[in-house]
Each structure stands twice: as structure tokens, then as C-alpha cells.
A and B are shown apart, each in its own frame.
Chain A
């Protein structure tokens, strides 16, 4: 029962996010808006209820199951992207390498300077 109550809270936040998206024609999805509203609400209230905690744990643990129908589509719609696979592969492989390198360099220098100025 408690998990269902938590699920209802999640669903209400999602519907709230969708409503905001529709009302203000926002480009952000209703789920993300609901998530931001949820984080802000928790920061204000300062604690997570048991109902909410168990419902969110349950949903997060089956995320892979929920995204699988989308993943398999890549095998059935592959023809659509003929001649683009080089661009896709280069963007993924080189792009990921470059972005990891940038993050590490940036974070390393910033942590160092904040440690120095903090002393």
C-alpha cells in the first residue's frame, strides 16, 4: 500500500510537470519539470517520506526494463540512417573522449584552486 501511495505522489508531480509544459509551452519534458519540482519540494521540507522512498527505489531499479522498448528500435529502424554511420560513430567515440578529457582537466584545476583559496 505504502508503495502505491508513493507512486501516486510521483504521478502527481509528473502531471504537474506536464501541465506546466502545456501551460507555458516549455521545451522541457514534463518528467524533468516534475523532477525539479520534486527536488525543490524536498529541499524545502527537508526529508523524504517512506512511501516516496520505496516507490522511487522500485521505479529506479527497473529503469532498464522501461527503456528497452526504445533501445530495440535501433535494430528495426537502422535502414533510415544509411550512409550516416561514420558520422554517428565518430561523434560518439571522439566526442566522448574529448568531453571526458575536458571535464577532467577543468575539474582538476578548479578543485586545486578552491583548495588553495580555501586555506
Chain B
């Protein structure tokens, strides 16, 4: 699904990603973990094409295409989705109009017809139900005045509606209480299939109790320094990151 090769990226002249190599296949869930400042969110944003980050070296092959030169909206239409750590508020723009526009753009790109208002609404209701979302949120302005939990739920609603090939979840668990965490995870699990893939960026193991990863990678100072299975996440929970950091050569 996505093949990241020797990816280097700068922000304001400072190198944050220093050669990431990662392959995620269809049907897989990969977790990216690591201490603060290791480059996890940078990786998520670079994959989505945020203009504040400059890719200096490497390739990102997404579903057979090198997307390095693609604009963020093109990547999104190709089926790459980023659930934001801090979803953005857009005053006055209704959640449903926004979703409708996004869905139309993506369907148009795939050569599918636009949904009728009725079809759209019933799809929206179906997906909102999975997340136990109050339908009133749908007519409110996009993320405006939403609580932290509502915002995260809204991200997953968008994920379910847009049904991308690859979902990157950037610290979707941050700021969620245990019930919200469970509901959001159920949403992600409802999305997951053998045809798509998920990259979960997280600090904590607890999210991985719900969204079970096939692989876990530890990011440290811009490189993946250790990869393993779900057990690695459990070990990190127990022992922290120090033991891995100590294994690293000083020069990193």
C-alpha cells in the first residue's frame, strides 16, 4: 500500500526525519511509537504533504505512485487520509457541507457519481451511529466549539465517510477518556478491511489494546530504531523507551 524509502525531511532548515524506511501492505495495521520529539507527527504530516515540511531525500510510493510531488489535496483524493492530532476549527462551515464536498471530490476522482442528498444523508447517519454521534454535531460548524473528544470522533466519522485506502491516525487517543477511546477504536475497526491499511501514531500502548497492530515500530531521533510485533508495545509500556535509547550509538 505504501512504501517509504530513505525519507529525509526538514522543518525550517532542521532535519527531523533522517532516513525512514517502512513498508505497509494491504490489510495491515502498523503502530509508530516513540518518545516526544522523535518525529512521529512529522512523519504523519510529511506523508500527507504539509507544506511546512520539506522532503530533502527519499521516496514515498503510495499505491504504486510516487507522491512526493503531489499536493495534499491530490494525495487525499488518491486515498491517503490523516486523522489530525488537533483537528482544525472552521467557523461557519457546516460539518455536513464540508463532508459532502470532500466526498464528492473523492468520488469524482475515482470516476464515481456524486451521491444524491438522500444517499449522502443515509450514509452519514449510518456512520454516525457507529460512533454514537449526536446528529446535531453534523449540522454544526466544522469542529467549532467541539470538545476534544467530539473533535476526535469527528475525525473518525470523516474516515468512515471517505473510506480511504490508507488511514494515518496521529495521536487519535490523546485527550480521550476510556469510553471515548473505545468508541473511536470501534470506528477504526469498522473501517479496517483486507483492502486498506492503517498507520497508528501513538504514545501509549492502551490504544493498541483496541486497535491491534500487526507491527510496532519505534521512532527515535528521526529513524525507526526497532520494529516488532504487538509484544514490543507491551514491553515499551512496561520498560519505557530508555532501554532502546541506550542501545543506540551515541552519534545518532
Q: Are A and B co-members of a single complex?
A: no
Residues of B at the A interface (CB closer than 8 Å) are: none
